[in-house]
Amino acid sequence: MDSILVWFRRDLRDTDHAALGEALRRGRRVHCAFIFEREILDALEQRSDRRVEFIGASLVELDTALRQRGGALLVRHGWAAAEIPQLAKELGVSAVFVNRDYEPQAKRRDAAVRDALAADGIAFESFKDQAVLDGDEVLTLAGRPFTVFTPYKNAWLKRLSEDDWQSYEGRACGALAPDQAATGVPSLANIGFASTDLRALGIVPGMSGGQKLLTDFLGRIARYHQQRDFPALKGVSYLSLHLRFGTVSIRQLVAKAIAAGALREGGEGAATWLSELVWRDFYFMILDRFPHVAERAFKPAYDAIEWEQGPDADEAFAAWCAGRTGYPLVDAAMRQLNSTGYMHNRLRMLVASFLTKDLGVDWRRGEAYFAGRLNDFDLAANNGGWQWAASSGCDAQPYFRIFNPVTQSERFDPAGRFIRRYLPELAAVPERFIHAPWRMTALEQAACAVIVGRDTPAPMVDHQQARRRTLARYAVVKRLAAP
């Protein structure tokens, strides 16, 4: 092809980039563009959003990298369905190349762009980049999508070959176009947003930030399987934000996991991390093949559950959001989310279980709250995690498995280090009571100056009573599933 436009979306890097690599292999001149999409930005609740700032800073680094290679990044602010076809016509390209997106809204947007381009005789091609394996690459023996993770993972590993994690580097023969119309990345103010505390939180955007985290994690990966469930420890990779916006390559991460022993005996840490990357592909596949999950339960029977409604449910939800449930680890997790935009994965499971099974609140309310506040919000993973916790999703925990917030706290934050970090009002509570301060006598509360009901909330529900209510609530599922 004479010229190709590469439309960057959630793939903000110039290395090991499927669409860019294919464009450079097949086109003589390659243009690069990014659209600050109003369909997405206008729907955000706040005009100060860490994700938007992360994108903007990552684009600055991407533009710099492209200019060093002789190209530039064309940045627009508007409606992608109009901006991309218009830009393609202005540049006179033969095709627009993108990396595939699996979200329903993104697929509708891409269909609209494809139709508009086709009317002008311009091709539209998409490539696999977010996932390691997608489409029909992992199917059951009957030729259907998997709905249970373990057999999916086994088939994924069996199907995986070196070609699947091979980098796109070194395959180019075309050249980037030095677009004179590329005037740099607009400031946050120019697209209607204000700056945030992104840098103050230690978040480094862009490819450099992703590689820094990856390098650090590879020095700890051997202990991942032992430390990943403990929020007070530096046990996880912290790469989820970079995976969300594609400032790191999933192929590179898989290659690093395999190099660290993921497929060999004795490489438990790397193998466990690789399994988490497979979960990511699994949830992409579920969203792609079963798009109804974005609005309803994966298992239709679970749509019959009657969740708590009315003022009491609203009050319970508000207390959960604010980290005022009276259960220290639940509250510390919510305070972490509200103050930093991050929550440890073990705690995401705990707070989701608490909202749905202790408070009886619809999982969709929690899912939406996370969507608005998680820096690394990803529809596939967020929906999959919430439906897993609510037992309504594919391969979810059984409905009768209900996390006990106290025993979870004792197991995964035994010394209360994480709790004290985000609930400083409990700093003086003795370790034996940090998971359940209400168990202190009045004298013990006075001695540490933490009065339950005054300095810290009393538990808003009794877990055992809530468990019985949940089993009764979910009984409708058993009835509908009965022959």
| Catalytic residue IDs | 276, 279, 307, 345, 363, 386
3-state helix, strand, coil in the chain (%, to 5): 55, 5, 40
How remote is the C-alpha of 412 from its chain's centroid?
22
Contact (Cβ atoms closer than 8 angstroms) between residue 59 and residue 73: yes
224 contacts 269 by C-beta, under 8 angstroms: yes
* Helix, strand or coil, per DSSP, at residue 273: helix
For 362, the 3-state DSSP assignment is coil
Q: E strand or H helix at 481, and its extent?
A: helix 475-481
Task: Decide: helix, strand or coil at residue 4.
Answer: strand
Task: Give 254's DSSP letter.
Answer: H
Q: 39 and 79 in contact (C-beta within 8 Å)?
A: yes
Quick one: CA dihedral 97, 102, 107, 111, positive or negative?
positive
Q: Which residue has the tokens 């292999």?
A: 25
Q: Which residues pair with 350 in a beta bridge?
A: none
Helix (H) or strand (E) holding 42: none
What are the DSSP calls for 92-160, one per residue?
T-SEEEEE---SHHHHHHHHHHHHHHHHTT-EEEEE--S-SS-TTSS--TTS----SHHHHHHHHHHH-
To which residue do tokens 């990014």 refer?
A: 34
Residue listed under structure tokens 């700056």: 195
Contact 84, 115 (CB under 8 A): no
Point out which residues pair with 480 in neighbouring strands.
none
Alpha-carbon gap, residue 14 to 19, rounded angstroms: 10
**What are the tokens at 32?**
């690069």
Give the position of tokens 């390559």.
Answer: 249
Name the 3-class secondary structure at 245: helix
| Structural element, H or E, at residue 314 | helix 311-322
